[in-house]
Structure 1
Amino acid sequence: MINSTYVSYFTLSGYFDTGLFKYLYFVVILSLYVLIIGSNLLLIVVICMNRSLHEPMYLFLCSLFVNELYGSTGLFPFLLVQILSDNHTVSAPLCFLQIFCLYTYGNVQFYNLAVMAYDRYLAICHPLHYNTRMTFNKAVRLVVVIWVPPFLCVLVTACLSVSLQLCGNIINKVYCDNYSVVKLACYDTTINNVYGLVGSAFSIFCPLSLVSFSYMRILRVCFSGCKQSRQKAVSTCTPHLASLLNFSFGVCFEILQSRFNMKNVPNIVRIFLSLYWLTCQPLFSPVMYGLNMSKIRSMCKSLLLSSVRKCRPCGRFVQLE
């Protein structure tokens, strides 16, 4: 333990000596990061460049992909540096900055998925009134709601953690985590714990309540409607539900391994559980929405085909030369 209450750096004890395998891990992590950046950027460009996709549903999807780029950038460059480093320390300001980035990513993700569920509810349960109930201006206001409250909520969390007097500087993870920092406090952390519970209620339970309400109404329409309406609802909601379940499971893994004693679990498993919600979701979402939504799939194909056609005349010109 450190007697001083001022901590200028944190030590990440989640890393272990892997020898030359660290270069293999570096290549794997770098490849995942490049794949995440490329797939999410491709879908953002496709949505922005095609006017036929300038609809509320695709605006919310674009917000989702931007958030996944934001969260991945808050994690992967940090991981790449730490993998190659022999001294796994991070300065206190950089640590709190990463906490802010990763926690806002998680909160925005839940809000985004909740708004997307509400949008699907209006489209399926009120198709004739969808354009009047979900106007573009309302969609823009909802995007503001997706981003602003989570940032303000996490900003308060970070400020409360920064003001703590710490008696230690060892974080048993491979990245900075707010709960791990709070556990290092010298004195009572009741305010942090109470605000954490309230913040979790607003960040997790409120969005999931809206999701539950939306899907209960959607299921009612599916059971009472014709076969065609059921098939349309299933095809529309499948990517969203899969994305929601994947992210929710990842957050549950993170909460379980952070809050409970898992010393008997192998270190590599604990690292995987702590990283799942930050790595798998940005990889999973572009695949789900890109493959399952016909408009996005066709636009991606046309974009790739047009780029190939532009290259063909160049190829002929070179052959003639």
Structure 2
Amino acid sequence: MDQINDGFNVTYLTFGGHVELHKYRFLYFTIMLTVYVLILFFNSTIVCLIWMHKNLHEPMYIFIAALLMNSVLFSTNIYPQLLIDFLSDKQIVSRSLCSIQSFIYYSLSGSEFLLLLVMACDRYVSICKPLQYATIMRQTTVNILLALAWLLPACQLVPSVVMSADLKLCSFTLNGIFCNNGLSKLYCMTSRTTYIIYGAFILLTTVFLPMLFILFTYTKIFIAAHRSCRDIRKKAAQTCLPHLLVLMSFSCLCSYDVIIARLNIYYNKTLHFIITLHIITYHPLFNPIIYGLKMKEISYHLKRLSVRFSLLIQRSEFSFMSK
């Protein structure tokens, strides 16, 4: 059944995007649980390194820590429910919980774009206006930017949540494996026009405008770096390329999510399932790897940590052998 009503008159939605779950449920569960643990470990490790070492208490690294914490929250919003669904006989969710998951999903996705925007502004000031950097990027400014990056997307989404609560459902099967933009396709066509228009407004202000500003900012950075000395060009490459890699990958995945859900293009269920898993796996898992390898100071502390961990293991083995 697509709609199940219990004694409390709760409406349930069915996830229809799983592929041969009855065959591969334990394989899916094992893989995604491993990925989730790695996401938590990789992101938390770099966040802890930034928190522990005073030389990393700079705006650039604070913004990186915020971005990685955002990835942890993003994953925690999706993975526990997904893991439960893999082991359940029925992949269902209540309408209210689905709305909450969708709200958090797009709120944190919007925050990711705004955090990347803030990081681009930080790099612009650092490279193009180095003498004014300490004055502009004070701790108060950093705190305000972080608060805005997390609060603005959530505040923008509140009206859409209020509007959707009153919309009538004409379908109860969600064409996906978690609650996302596809939820809008379940509402009756006659009652969702305002909801869709407001969704387009959010998309414009949270994604496209920040994207244009980020591209404009990095263009200015690379022009300034090209006209400067070799050290400035090296600094621009070391600090800006990781941000650009993260921006491009995240933008491509978000574009797929929006286009597929909005236009209702589901050409192949298996391919859609694989790409959906890619959307929720790629940037939470590889962002810390990109920053860990490409950012010189973080890479240095990671190497020191790995050396200490290796020595600790060797001492433990020696102590065990001695006994």
Give a deviation string over 1:115-161, Cα, whole Å, max 9, x none. Answer: 00111111111112211111122111111111111111122222221
Q: CA deviation at 1:25?
A: 1.4
Deviating above 6 A after TM superposition, structure 1's stretches of 4 or more consecutive aligned residues are: none
**2:304: which partner in 1?**
302
Distance 1:44 1:35 in 2: 14
Q: CA deviation at 1:266?
A: 2.1
**1:185: which partner in 2?**
188
Q: CA deviation at 1:194?
A: 1.9
Q: Cα 1:223–1:313, aligned 2, differ >3 Å: closer, same or farther?
A: closer
Equivalent of 1:174, from 171, 177, 187? 177
Q: CA deviation at 1:216?
A: 2.1
Aligned counterparts, 1:1-321, within 5 A:
8-185=11-188, 187-263=190-266, 265-310=267-312, 312-321=314-323
Secondary structure of 1:87 counterpart: coil
Q: CA deviation at 1:171?
A: 1.0
CA contact (8 A) 2:50 2:57 kept: yes
Distance 1:232 1:7 in 2: 56
Secondary structure of 2:110 counterpart: helix
Secondary structure of 1:187 counterpart: helix
Distance 2:292 2:175 in 1: 36
TM-score by length of 1: 0.92
CA contact (8 A) 2:226 2:233 kept: yes
Q: CA deviation at 1:43?
A: 0.6
Q: CA deviation at 1:177?
A: 2.1
Give a deviation string over 1:203-250, Cα, whole Å, max 9, x none. Answer: 112211320231121122122123332222112111000000000000
The one-letter code of the counterpart of 1:215 is: Y
Distance 1:295 1:284 in 2: 18
Distance 2:233 2:111 in 1: 30
The one-letter code of the counterpart of 1:76 is: Y
Where does structure 1 lack aligned partners over 5 or more consecutive residues?
A: none
Give a deviation string over 1:5-36, Cα, whole Å, max 9, x none. Answer: x8611011112334432211111111111111
Question: What is the count of residue pairs matched by the alignment?
Answer: 318
Bigger drift between 270-279 and 102-111 goes to 270-279
Distance 1:305 1:37 in 2: 21
Secondary structure of 1:272 counterpart: helix
The one-letter code of the counterpart of 1:56 is: P
Give a deviation string over 1:80-136, Cα, whole Å, max 9, x none. Answer: 111222212111222112111211121111001010011111111111221111112
CA contact (8 A) 2:108 2:150 kept: no
Distance 1:36 1:252 in 2: 22
Distance 1:80 1:237 in 2: 36
Distance 1:197 1:262 in 2: 18
Bigger drift between 116-125 and 163-172 goes to 163-172
CA contact (8 A) 2:181 2:261 kept: no
Q: CA deviation at 1:315?
A: 4.5
Q: Cα 1:315–1:7, aligned 2, differ >3 Å: closer, same or farther?
A: closer
Provide the identity percentage: 31
Give a deviation string over 1:156-212, Cα, whole Å, max 9, x none. Answer: 222221221222211111111244335423632222122111111111122113202
CA contact (8 A) 2:25 2:87 kept: yes
The one-letter code of the counterpart of 2:294 is: N
Q: Over aligned residues, Cα RMSD in angstroms? A: 2.1
CA contact (8 A) 1:257 1:273 kept: no
Where does structure 2 lack aligned partners over 5 or more consecutive residues?
A: none
